[in-house]
Every structure is written in structure tokens, then in C-alpha cells.
Amino acid sequence: MSNLYSVGLGVGTHNQNGEWLEVFYPQPLLNPSAALADALAAAGYKDGNQALALSNAQMAELASALEQAGEAEQAAIAKQLASAERPLVATVLAADEAPSSTPEAYLKLHLISHRLVRPHGTNLSGIFPLLPNVAWTNQGAIDLAELPQRQLQARLTGELLEVSCVDKFPKMSNYVVPAGVRIAHTARVRLGAYLGEGTTIMHEGFVNFNAGTEGPGMIEGRVSAGVMVGAGSDLGGSASTMGTLSGGGNIIISLGKECLLGANAGVGIPLGDRCTVEAGLYITAGTVVQLLDEQGQPLDTVKARDLASKSDLLFRRNSKTGAVECKANKNAIALNEELHTNN
């Protein structure tokens, strides 16, 4: 069998109509071995991108095939899954194409959160219709149409069904917690976020799917969908980045290494390395910026988009004139190493 893009053995949740609500993959794989690909024939896989619903017996057969193929880790996972009381699936992606099912969509989100691919590193086109909007509760994912009856059943037995949120995306920490990170408020990091080692997400920090941090870094603001934050950068309290889904068009917003967004600041352009945006200043592509020389004297006036991806810039607002100014940034940002050693 030819090489595959990704494989995930998972267990998930169906609604009463047998439709997938979510899938958990304990150890998704990127570019699995040819031996593992051949072993998938035991699960009925032939070709293409497929999500194969498996019975417990079929998963046990797959475990045996994986063991014979020398895939000990995946065989061990399959053995554990074979005893599950929930729906099982083997999702196989022959190529990195747009997902066509809920299990495929969840596998791609897992690949990012497991740090197997970076944001924008896998095709997520058309993912939203494949992610049902569900109630995330202390009893797992529940179809919204089935929620009232489940709430009543819980009350009749003296229990409380706690609904933590209603959303298409679950919180990442219920599926994977990458090594070397701190997340003060886990509900604020969605599955599909990429958190590099040394990343700290404070209580008001937020990281969307297909976005993240290279790490180390301090996130006290918002990392919107599609945004990648470079190593050593700091987003201050309530700072914001404009996502590609919220007005950024096709421009991918990113921050380079050792950048600082001050409290309540924001950017709608990609920044290079060692850039600073002062507190309270939001820079969009159309912001008129006055360039200053080393003595602080005006040189030229440009749109912020003309400064996109350039390094060593300091953006500030003139307190007298209100003009947005930009000059060379002489002060590199240095994060506290002890603060970002998340062992």
C-alpha cells in the first residue's frame, strides 16, 4: 500500500441518530509507516480518505494485525480501544485534502494540538459544517436536541448535568495537554491550537484553532484563528490579533520572535522579529503611520501594510498629535526564563 498522510485510532460520541459528535484520538500519526498502512486492511481499509466505524471485534483484529506488523504502540492503543463501550473509528487520510467527515476534521485538529503539524500546515477547508454544535458537559458531548431530556434524567437521579459551553470546538485540554505548557483557564484554548513548549496562557489569554505559539511565550491576550506567535513573544492583557476569518482576508497575521503587544494593543498586519506595539494602540493594514528617524524626526508617511513583516519596529501614538508613529526598536524583549520553564 502506498504511503499515507495520517492515521488515527479513536473513540467518540454518537447522537441518537448514530451521527458523530466528537472523536478522541489518543495518539494520532503523521506519515505512518508502510507496515501500519498494510495492517489497516484488517479494518477494511482500501484506499482514499476514510473514517471506518469499527466494532470491538474489528478493533481487536486490527490490534493483532498491528502487533504482527511490529507497530507495538498503535497495537497497544487498539487493544485498549477494543474494550470500549463507546463508538470506535479508524480514520485514514491518504492525502492532505479537505476533511469530508467529523472524524476526519477531528483528526486534523488533533494533529495540530499534538504538534505534529503547525497552523496552516494541514488542509482545514470546509471544516465548520463538519463540526456539530454540541453541549460540552461533565458527561461528555451531547446533541443539543437531546440535551433537555438528558438534563431531566440527571435531575431525576439527583445529579446535575453541568453544561460548560455550547460550541463547535471543545477545549484542547480534554483531548491533549502538550508537554511544557501552562494553561490557567483551559476553556480558553480550543482543540486545534498549537502550543509550543514553554508557552504560558494566563487566565484571560485565548488561543483559537489553527493558531498558536512557537514557545516560549506569555499569552495574556487573544491569539485569533490562523495567527502564529513566534518564540519569546508576549501578548499583554487584552491584547488582540486579527484572525484571517475576521477581516484579515487572505493575509496571514503573525508575530515574529521577541515581539511585545502591550495591554489592550492589537495588530492586523504580520510583524517581523523584535517589534513592539505600545499599550492601547491597534494597528490595522490601513492605519496611517508616520515614520521617524533616529532623532525622532518625521521622514515619511505610509500605510501600516507597507511595514508588514519588517523587524525591529516600535509603534506608538504621539500623545500630543494623536498620530501613529513608527521608529526603530532598540530594546529587544527578553522573557523571564524561570517563568516559562513549565516542567
Catalytic residue among 22, 197, 214, 220: 220
What's the rounded Cα separation, in Å, for the pair 144 and 235? Answer: 35
Beta bridge partners of residue 282, listed in sequence order: 266
What's the rounded Cα separation, in Å, for the pair 298 and 327? Answer: 10
169, with CB counted inside 10 A (0-12, 13-18, 19+), is buried
Element (DSSP H or E) covering residue 255: strand 254-255
Which of 128, 122, 127 has its CA nearest to residue 97?
122
- Does the active-site annotation cover 220? yes
All residues at 6 or more sequence positions from 192 whose CB lies less than 8 Å from its CB, including other chains: 108, 109, 112, 113, 169, 172, 208, 209, 210
What's the rounded Cα separation, in Å, for the pair 209 and 194? Answer: 8
Q: CB 328: neighbour CB atoms within 10 A? A: 13
Contact predicate 301/290, CB 8 Å: yes
In 3-state terms, what secondary structure has residue 195? Answer: strand
Q: What number of CA atoms fall less than 13 Å from residue 331's CA on the CB side?
A: 8
What's the rounded Cα separation, in Å, for the pair 241 and 224? Answer: 6
Active site residues: 220
